[in-house]
């Protein structure tokens, strides 16, 4: 496989701020039909990520989405990769870590997002095996 994730990563990033309410973050996910969104600090650095599963956990606990904030709900263990990573390496990393998204960063700035669905939809593994 010689294709790099920079060639197909989503570059139009929708992110939320640390202090956005859970309610607001959910509105963003629903309105943009997303299942994942990065949470960024005031300097634009990734603080964490919020996925649909994070919201399921949140609602199971019956917390108030208007009184809780993105930084409280997000997963802090993010996996960030270089734009020069191959599709194969990205796929293996997702499988190994049981995740569906990778943040593509350069100099601590988010440059893109790669999802397992992107790889499958594009048939990238089959084309580059």
Q: Cα(124)–Cα(39) distance, rounded to whole angstroms?
A: 28
Count of positions (residues) in the chain: 129
pLDDT digits (tens, 9 = 90+) for 99-121: 889 999 988 889 999 988 878 87
Name the pairing type of β-strands 80-81 and 46-51: unpaired
Domain 5-128 bears CATH identifier 3.10.580.10: yes
Boundaries of every domain in the chain: 5-128
Find, among 107, 115, 106, the residue nearest to 49 by Cα: 115
pLDDT digits (tens, 9 = 90+) for 15-63: 999 999 999 999 999 999 998 999 999 988 899 999 988 888 888 987 7
- The CA-atom distances, in angstroms, between 38 and each of 61, 75, 83 are 22, 10, 17
Q: Cα(5)–Cα(122) distance, rounded to whole angstroms?
A: 12
pLDDT digits (tens, 9 = 90+) for 58-86: 889 877 888 899 999 998 888 899 999 98
């Amino acid at each position: 496989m010689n294709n790099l994730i920079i060639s197909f990563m989503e570059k139009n990033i929708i992110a939320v701020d640390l202090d956005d309410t859970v309610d607001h973050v959910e509105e963003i996910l629903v309105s943009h039909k997303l299942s994942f969104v990065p949470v960024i600090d005031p300097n634009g650095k990734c603080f964490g990520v919020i996925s649909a599963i994070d919201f399921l956990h949140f609602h199971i606990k019956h917390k108030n989405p208007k009184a809780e904030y993105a930084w409280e709900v997000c997963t802090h263990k993010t996996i960030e990769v270089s734009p020069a990573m191959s599709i194969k390496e990205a796929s293996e990393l997702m499988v190994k870590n049981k995740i569906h998204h990778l943040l593509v960063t350069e100099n601590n700035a988010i440059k893109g997002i790669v999802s397992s669905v992107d790889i499958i939809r594009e048939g990238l593994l089959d084309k580059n095996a």
